[in-house]
Structure 1
Amino acid sequence: MTGKGMHLLLVEDDLELGAELQRALAAHGLTSEWVRDVRHARALAEVADEEGAPRFACALLDLGLPDADGLSLLAHWRGRRVALPVIVLTARDALDARVAALDAGADDYVIKPCAPIEIASRVRAVVRRSAGQSTLVWRVGALGIDTGRHEVTLDGVPVTLSPKEFRIVVELARLPGETVSKHRLARAVAPLAEPMEFSALEWHIHNLRRKLGNERVRTVRGVGYWLEGR
């Protein structure tokens, strides 16, 4: 199983390790943006948050960064209520370091070296928890969304979706019954490129309604869309 559709923020100052980790995670379906210091990590995460269109599903955070300690960044994010799942990925294996990170708001703590397949699994787990889902198969009303197999069912019947349609459904399913902005959806569909044009997004929404039912994907005119959660 992979983490298809998930885009991460990788905060790691070691050039060799960062490049190797980025390549390894890509092999498990996890795309990422890699920065090497606290300043750039703050800029990326907080701009996305202020726009209401989160760019990242999760952050992988090293603690030993050149311009500040990773714990200070974590505490800053939590103080600003940046709701980004964070996995601390560090060589610090002392108990007090683990406790300090978890108390500061880390969702998980992983000690280097760690196999990329385990990191990918931990990413999927914290993203599931942040979305209020405890398994790989999310349930939203009559919809079953298998985030591992990249499959969707409606009343138990498989529905064939394109990769972009699937990403839209996953993003809507993170907040069932709540409006998700067009900006957020457009970025989620194309995490490594320019956000999708709204006209193209509307075309994909039209196709989703045809496949899932008009009543399941609702429009908030001029703002975005929401997924019926009942």
Structure 2
Amino acid sequence: MEVEPLLSVKVLQQSTWPFGQEDTGFMLPANMQAQLEDFKVYYNENHPKRALMWLHSLGTASLVVAFKQNTKTIDLGLFHARVMLLFMDEDHLTYEEIQGQVGLKHKDLKLVLLALACGKKKILRKTPKGPDVNSGNSFQFNYDFKDDKVKLRIASISEKITEEESIKTQDMVDESRKYTVQAAIVRIMKGSKELHNKDLVNRVVDAVRMHFHPDIPSIKKEIDWCIDNEYLARVEDRKDVFMYVA
């Protein structure tokens, strides 16, 4: 039985949501993918100069699931929901069959199946039993699952982030914010023609505060960059006053 999903999209700038392009291999069901394509067409028509980048690993879903005890609403990650939906038509699936339909790489699929079959809330049953997930395991939907709550949340199991990955992510954030500050400086000066340093700094803070809160030294550093690249120039005999260079 196919159920039409209800799509909700959150669109954020990369300076606010600092994550790069994913390489998980994840494949959505055809009906979900069709909704994303429809949204992409709508978004491109309204914002032709922007590019959408889907971050499925950060997606969430709510499923209404019927167990023997009762029907429950389960909130879980999009990867987890994708796996659960496979059991609408199949009682048993092997690890390889799940991976073939979901497309996730082993390290990502393993974390998903650990949460569904080896966590506190075992929505799936794993054969053989044990605390780990490996190729060759088989899974079946746990119709006998019981819980006092009608609405549940399946927590994701996160892979340990290395210090190198953390530094790389922070570098991406800093780089994106640097470009945002530079663009704000040029845009403000183009409209004002001349501004005192203090006024320019305050206007830049106001311009980007919806995305992040820049520190004053970083703004001054980007003002110097704009001067070096001949977007701005210092006004002679007027201390701390800048003019826009057309």
TM score, norm. by length of structure 1: 0.31
TM score, norm. by length of structure 2: 0.29
Higher radius of gyration, 1 or 2: 2
Identify the structure with the greater strand proportion.
1
